[in-house]
Chain A
Amino acid sequence: MTLFGIGFVTPWLLLTLLALPALWLILRAVPPAPIRRMFPGVVLLLGLKDDEQVSDRTPWWLLLLRMLAVAMLIVGLAGPILNPESDETAASDAPLLVVMDSSWASAATWRARMLALDGLLAQAARDDRRVALLQLTKPEQANFQTADDLSARLVGLSPAPWEPRPDAVDSALDLLPEGGFDTYWMSDGLERETRAPLLSALEDRGDVTVFQAGQTILGLAPARFEDGNIILTAVRAQTGSERDVTILAQGRDPSGNPAVLARATARFDPDAAMAETALSLPSELRARILGFEIEGNRSAGATTLPDDSLRRREVALVAGREDREGLQLLAPLHYLEKALDPSADLLDGNLMDMIPANPDVIALADVATLGDAEEDALLDWLDGGGILLRFAGPRLAASDISRDTEDPLMPVRLRSGGRSVGGAMSWGEPKSLAEFSEDSPFFGLAIPPDVTVSAQVMAQPDPALADRVIAQLSDGTPLVTRKKVGQGQIILFHVTANAEWSSLPLSGLFVQMLERLSIAAGSGAQPDAEDLEGTVWQPSIVLDGFGATSDGSTLPGVAGEDLVSAPLGPDLRPGVYQSQDRALARNVLEADATLTPANWPADIPVEGLVKSEETPLGGWLLAAAMLLLMADILASLFLSGRLSGPRATQAAALLLAALLMPGHAAQAQSDETEFALGATAEVTFAHVVTGNEDLDQRAQAGLRGLSETLFFRTSVEPADPMAVDLETDELAFFPFLYWPITPDQPTPSDEAYAKLNTYLRSGGMIMFDTRDADIARFGTGSPNGRKLQQLAAPLDIPPLEPIPEDHVLTRTFYLLQDFPGRHNSHDVWVEAAPPDAELVDGMPFRNLNDNVTPVIIGGNDWASAWAMDDRGNPIYPIGSGYSGERQREIAYRFGVNLVMHVLTGNYKSDQVHVPALLDRLGN
């Protein structure tokens, strides 16, 4: 039933709406439920009367709210449906026949079709109509059944990768159910001749409605190979607008996984129904292509499979003699080159150089003897599937090869000398070729009468010979013999590769024979039926309607002539077919296929996919009713004063607090910012966290002591030192890192090392302190020293040397020659001076490198000497008595010098130039 364009599943439920006014009255009469409140002031209330004697009525707007909610509930339960599928078909209650083209052209919109069909069946179920289904690509007896039964079968429907064949449509005419019925024809949108008779037959039985997707049908013609490019042609049914389609070359990546190997874009001009694009791929990549498809268009027609015509075999050509310069037409390889050039990649060169390239074919023209190494390599290569193509010639005829015993690289034994017929010095006519026998790969090729053979090498009669002959002369002597070796084969033409001994290389038959041997695979054009006469082809890959590939090896073979000419159907599926070593693709679209959009008679109603879909509104209405009831709860609470209690304000405050809660990310962010601010607001020294708590505290205290000392004695006023975790913290903020070594500290990660190296390269300084100068010398194998070596190995550290006497560290602030910490060892190492630094006469110091040394390595345990507690008292004892204090003082001085060096670089070193500068300024 339909009201105002909205259909209802259970319209009678709407009658309940009549009860709404009664509900209104009842709700109006019942006041809201009272709240019980404890209130000591009730004594003061006693005796107070309400102004109005009438009970407190529910306000009209609340009533309206509730009425609306109830009305929505009722309407929602009545099952309203927007755009119900009820039109002229609904008016009839005749059985319904659904005719589906279900060809590849409907695959791209198959889902939408199934949805539409689902809707149609649902409507039929509502109207209680019986439905039958007829697929023109797979006609079966159509029996009327209930729509529910049929809709259960919808899942199993799939488009066929072919179009309805005339014979299938004829049989469909016979399969039409008895009696009158209406027809719903789901067309694939392509015009075909078989349509008119079926349409008129259906119109005789009842109304026909056509359903047709508005989407343009796209197809992909088989790929061609032209001038080193793959030419891809896309066709479309409807013209009129400019459109780009992307064509994907699907294949396998080197590891064997499916991948898109290349993509090309073809542009349809507004009026063009065809668009071409060229794809240039290296042959190696080309060989891996399994198929082309139009992106975003899943149909067999938009998929095309390549066959041998795209495969370019690599053929290595080796000739026995190439000394006859200038006589090209006599060159042994000339005709072979001409025959193979359009369809194969030719290799030229030394045999031993070419075998590792693993060519598909090696052609040996009149090559008699091969070296042992060459022979072994060739045999290996043959085992792997190579084709060795040999031609006879004067050299072969003159040699002793394969005379007494069969040469492993020859298919047969040869008689010495060969023979010559029909020449000037011999009897008889030149021989012509005999018909090819059935088991020959050349079976079916027409033999031009002008092909004659005047000389050949003769095969030694042998029990195995008959099996190996695949072509012979009219007198029965073998012309072509073949032997399988491992995966590969050896083929011997008993004539030369040039026109010296026969006219075979001059004829087209030569090329056809090479093709049959899959040496010159497909010269571009598709073979015609004659070429394939007598061959049987086994499907290896077949396409389904959606363009997906599947294994076809379980399907029966197809005769060669059918393969090229018969229309596609259940017994000839699109796919790749194989016969012996050749592969041939049969695609849905022929090379010159065009797509014609269907043209229906004007009196047939045509529906599209775009029509508004049936939308059940029940759920929305019920949800809205629920929302209204929620609102009613709030309104009731508000009315009864329960919203204004103290709890309500608390809840609101909580809600507000929850909303204002800052996110964790912001927290982390601010941590980082805080670290950066703390490290950069003042000069800040840092020590590397070793994980040893005592050591970390010691380092911290040491740097604090150094900072204090600097603060008091110099204009450097550092902030409190920081501890730095190499893994997480940014190092760039610190001019100076103190890194005490302990054997048990963890080795930093690779990222941390990368960070450290960046730090060192960008001017930072790390002071490594092994803290064991009392027991070990630098470079000896103390545990700390070994750990240092291990830690510093990945670091980018320049060559080192012990601090020279004239190093700038000795004079940046104090004049020092010792660098003690808690221990007083002279083994303190810094970046080595450049080897060309020399002491100039009159200068106190060498002119040293300009850089700040990136590392200082020592073991004097400076941090302990510098360490101060909060009140500025030294924490750790040094030496004994006055000399110990003196050593501490020198340690402080060294620290000051160190920081000065870090902060001012070689300023003090440059001071040596001051007299010269002043001198120059004075003049």
Chain B
Amino acid sequence: MTSPVAALRQRSEEEAARLPALLARAEHLAGTVLLGEHGRRRSGLGDDFWQYRPMQQGDVLRDVDWRRSARSDTQFVREREWQIAQSVILWVDQAASMRFASNKSLGTKADRARTLAMAASILLIRGGERVGLTGFDLPPRRGQVQISRLAELLSMDQPDEYSEPEARGMLPQSRAIFFSDFLNDPAPVEAALTKAADRGVRGALVQILDPSEEEFPFDGRTIFQSVGGGMVHETLKAGDLRNRYLDRLAERKERLEHLSRLAGWQYTCHHTSESAQSALLWIYRAMDGTYG
């Protein structure tokens, strides 16, 4: 017999055991991207040397770099690169629909989403950004502790069949990344994006799909059911549905892309059969602003 306390302890041990794995995977993934601080490419307050420039009017004497100036006749001011720490907030779909893998060799979608989110967080925190979660559970902070807490929160499954993006708690002018399969009704996504756009939050939608969801390799009489079992659809000829399903999926992707364009967001679709690194690179570039 296990006492409630022991059972809790056991559960929490199990949960805790997953954290390092997620962390390790994410660290590993993050290690593949070499990243510096987000240099702003202009002078400002920061730690790194940016350039020497001749002293102009208005410069305080304190800013003069005497060593450099002593080598020439004019005074030089040593400018530092302007660095700014951004807040990046993440939303990772933890619903049941993400806990699906069509093949044992592929990880579940949730797995991939968490790994990507954690890896991105690690990268960002290493880069000096503050990373948090939407909602009020984990506001953006920096530091190793934040990584652990992120991992902890990201490892929690939600019992819902499908979930809606959490749009609360977004800091104005921050960045956001939403990980989900976005198979549910797109209206909440639209609402969230609108809200984000209102607050000047820009970001990226990462749609994570299983290859079978992309290909629909089914045939014959089939009863499709959602992961939680709540939704059931029976068909007599699954093969006949393929084209219509694919149409609907394409339409969904189109809609997501359209929405994100409207809100000034980025959109990508990532499959669990592909390498996580490419998705991570894409996320990094999206945060970097390379894609605009």
Give chain A's interface residues, CB within 8 Å of chain B. Answer: 31-46, 48, 50-52, 55-56, 639-642, 644, 646
Contact = CB atoms under 8 A, between A and B. Distances in A.
Contacts of B245: 41, 44-45, 48
Nearest to B226: A42
A52 B102 CA distance: 28
Contact of A35 (B102, B222, B239, B252): B222
14 contacts: A34-B222, A37-B223, A39-B100, A41-B249, A42-B232, A43-B183, A44-B183, A46-B233, A48-B235, A50-B240, A52-B236, A639-B220, A641-B238, A646-B103
Contact of A45 (B109, B217, B235): B235
B221 interface: yes
Scoring B213, B216, B224 by chain A CB atoms within 10 A of each residue's CB, the highest score goes to: B224
A368 B4 CA distance: 127
Scoring A31, A38, A41 by chain B CB atoms within 10 A of each residue's CB, the highest score goes to: A41
Contacts, number: 112
Nearest to A47: B233
B170 to A, nearest CB: 26
B252 A44 contact: yes
Nearest to B103: A646
B225 A51 contact: no
B223 A48 contact: no
A41 B216 contact: yes
B136 interface: no
B144 interface: no
Scoring B184, B232, B238, B244 by chain A CB atoms within 10 A of each residue's CB, the highest score goes to: B238
Given A37-B225, A38-B100, A40-B100, A48 B220 contact: no
A639 B237 CA distance: 10
Contacts of A52: 236-237
A44 B248 contact: yes
Contacts of A31: 221, 236
Interface in B177-192: 181, 183-185
B238 to A, nearest CB: 7
Nearest to B184: A43
A45 B247 CA distance: 11
B219 interface: yes
A48 B219 contact: no
Given A43-B162, A46-B231, A644 B222 contact: no
B264 to A, nearest CB: 27
Given A45-B235, A56-B237, A644-B217, A37 B222 contact: yes
A44 B237 CA distance: 16
Given A50-B236, A50-B240, A39 B184 contact: no
A46 B252 CA distance: 14
Given A36-B222, A42-B233, A45-B241, 14 more contacts: A34-B222, A39-B213, A40-B181, A41-B224, A41-B249, A42-B232, A43-B162, A43-B183, A44-B245, A50-B236, A52-B237, A55-B236, A56-B220, A640-B221
A641 B240 contact: no
Interface in B77-107: 97-98, 100, 102-103
A845 to B, nearest CB: 77
Contacts of A41: 183, 213, 216, 224, 245, 249
Contacts of A55: 236
B212 interface: yes
B219 A34 contact: no
B129 interface: no
A191 B143 CA distance: 117
B244 A40 contact: no
A50 B233 CA distance: 11
Contacts of A40: 97-98, 100, 109, 181, 183, 210, 213, 226-227
Q: Can you list the 7 inter-chain pairs with the closest CB atoms, starting with the nearest? A: A641-B219, A640-B220, A40-B97, A56-B236, A34-B221, A641-B220, A39-B224
Contacts of B222: 34-37, 640-641
A914 to B, nearest CB: 75
A55 B235 CA distance: 10
B152 to A, nearest CB: 25
B258 to A, nearest CB: 17
A37 B227 CA distance: 9
A32 B137 CA distance: 50
A918 B252 CA distance: 102
A240 B237 CA distance: 74
Contacts of B217: 644
A40 to B, nearest CB: 4
Contacts of A56: 220-221, 236-237
A45 B221 contact: no
Contacts of B73: none
B106 to A, nearest CB: 9
B217 to A, nearest CB: 7
Nearest to A640: B220
Given A44-B183, A52-B237, A37 B232 contact: no
A32 B227 CA distance: 24
A48 B245 CA distance: 8
B224 A45 contact: yes
A48 B248 CA distance: 10
B225 A36 contact: yes
Contact of B223 (A36, A46, A646): A36
Contacts of B236: 31, 50, 52, 55-56
A37 B111 CA distance: 21
B66 interface: no
Nearest to B101: A38
B47 interface: no
B237 A51 contact: yes
Given A40-B210, A41-B183, A43-B183, A48 B233 contact: yes
Nearest to A35: B222
B218 interface: yes
Contacts of B252: 44
Interface string B155-176: 0000000100000000000000
B234 interface: yes
A50 B223 CA distance: 13
Contacts of A51: 237, 240
B215 to A, nearest CB: 10
B231 A32 contact: no
A634 to B, nearest CB: 14
Contacts of A641: 218-220, 222, 238-239
Contacts of A43: 97, 162, 183-185, 226, 231
A42 B220 contact: no
A48 B102 CA distance: 22
A51 B238 CA distance: 11
A846 B167 CA distance: 109
A640 B225 contact: no
A57 to B, nearest CB: 10
Contacts of B244: 48
A212 to B, nearest CB: 64
Nearest to B214: A41
Given A44-B183, A44-B248, A44-B249, A38 B235 contact: no
A41 B213 CA distance: 6
A505 B102 CA distance: 115
Nearest to A641: B219
A51 B242 CA distance: 12
A43 to B, nearest CB: 5
A36 to B, nearest CB: 5
A51 B239 CA distance: 11
A880 B219 CA distance: 87
A384 B68 CA distance: 138
A38 B240 contact: no
A42 B225 contact: yes
Contacts of A42: 224-226, 231-233
A34 B223 CA distance: 6
A639 B238 CA distance: 11
A50 B219 CA distance: 13
A48 to B, nearest CB: 6
B212 A50 contact: no
A35 B103 contact: no
B221 A32 contact: yes
